[in-house]
Copies of this chain bind each other. A is one copy, B any other.
Amino acid sequence: MRFALSEDQTLLQDSLSRTLADLSPLERVRRFADENQAAAPDIWAGLSELGLPGLLVPEEYGGLGLGLVEAALAAEALGRVVAPTPFLGSAVLAPLALMLAGTDEQKSRWLPKLASGEAIAGVAISEPIAGARENAGVAAANGRVTGTALFALDTAGADLLIVADRTGGLHLTQLAHSAEPMPSIDATRPLCQLTFSDTPAEPLASNQALERLRDAAWVMLAADTLGAAQSMLDKAVAYAKERKQFGRTIGSFQAVKHLCAEMAAELEPARALVWYAAYAFDKAPDEAPLMAAHAKAHLSEIGRFVARTSTEVHGGIGMTDLLGLHYWFKRIGQNRQLLGGPERVRETAARLQGLIA
């Protein structure tokens, strides 16, 4: 028994972090955001060389055949540098959907292409998970889907889409009637509104697939926040050690030290929660939904605290575009609400334990 990263896992995270430092430095993120880019094929191509798109894809389909723990480490590394990638949709949710509910033919058709990074998959599952807004939602019948899906993930240049209908059924389609951008605070992860009108779609037959996707997504968003928040803490500590005011580094003022200590005290145990939630997804399926919910909700709360506190430690400069700190702030803010804010997710946590009458 060991609750720590294995050597392989540490290596994975290190090599990913090194690669990301090259592929997705702040200037690259800034260009992506400033130019409202919808996708960064350069970054995804670089990560594809490491095998990231195929992380979860079984080896027989050309992937690495790893688990959600490794995916969480990857999400954390991506969050650390606020990298613009279709990781969540294309490398986690779509492969999982296919693996859980695809036919052999569907798997053979798509998994190898997703694993190599040759194909990109978008995912639209917001309505049955986070609740329907503006009467959105998709209806499915006879191999066709009709309706609107908001907050679709990673649809830019997508070769296939995984879409959940109002009843929680999943569908695979290659065509969306229209895709309208939904500009959000976090320019590193563009969102889309999809409209379907009698659009051909192959059903992915499984009762529980959507729940598994939800659990995986929640863990990934929690891990992304963990990485982004860890960065914000690191930046705050570094800034406080360097910045001088009143003839002292501000990091020598007890108020500033304690703000940093509080961030660390919140983040460090949260790391173990994210690890365990990912581990449970792989190895303890009975516990997985509750752990995923807690990870998502808890990281949302402490992520907000760290995002705010780190900005405060930076003083006025933290509010400007100069250090780019706001990319992390906004990434954490977006993770909080995506696929359900913490209040809603905690309601699910309570329901999973039979605490709601």
Residues in chain A within 8 A of chain B (CB atoms): 253-255, 258
Chain B residue, CB-CB nearest to A256: B254
**Chain multiplicity (copies):** 2
A256: min CB distance to chain B, Å: 9
Of all A-B residue pairs in the complex, the 5 with the closest CB atoms, nearest first, are A254-B254, A254-B255, A255-B258, A253-B254, A255-B255
A236: min CB distance to chain B, Å: 17
A-B contact pairs, 5 of them (CB 8 A): A253-B254, A254-B254, A254-B255, A255-B255, A255-B258
For the complex, what is the distance from the CA of A258 to the CA of B253, rounded to whole Å? 12
A154: min CB distance to chain B, Å: 38
A343: min CB distance to chain B, Å: 15
For the complex, what is the distance from the CA of A34 to the CA of B15, rounded to whole Å? 67
Question: Using Cβ atoms and an 8 Å threshold, which residues of chain B touch A258?
Answer: 255
For the complex, what is the distance from the CA of A59 to the CA of B254, rounded to whole Å? 57
For the complex, what is the distance from the CA of A207 to the CA of B309, rounded to whole Å? 51
Chain B residue, CB-CB nearest to A258: B255
A240: min CB distance to chain B, Å: 14
Question: Using Cβ atoms and an 8 Å threshold, which residues of chain B touch A253?
Answer: 254
A264: min CB distance to chain B, Å: 16
Question: Using Cβ atoms and an 8 Å threshold, which residues of chain B touch A255?
Answer: 254-255, 258
For the complex, what is the distance from the CA of A253 to the CA of B258, rounded to whole Å? 12
Chain B residue, CB-CB nearest to A254: B254
Question: Using Cβ atoms and an 8 Å threshold, which residues of chain B touch A254?
Answer: 253-255
Chain B residue, CB-CB nearest to A255: B254
For the complex, what is the distance from the CA of A48 to the CA of B258, rounded to whole Å? 50
For the complex, what is the distance from the CA of A255 to the CA of B261, rounded to whole Å? 12
For the complex, what is the distance from the CA of A254 to the CA of B254, rounded to whole Å? 6
A206: min CB distance to chain B, Å: 37
A250: min CB distance to chain B, Å: 11
For the complex, what is the distance from the CA of A187 to the CA of B158, rounded to whole Å? 69
A246: min CB distance to chain B, Å: 12
A253: min CB distance to chain B, Å: 6
For the complex, what is the distance from the CA of A253 to the CA of B253, rounded to whole Å? 9
Chain B residue, CB-CB nearest to A253: B254
A245: min CB distance to chain B, Å: 13
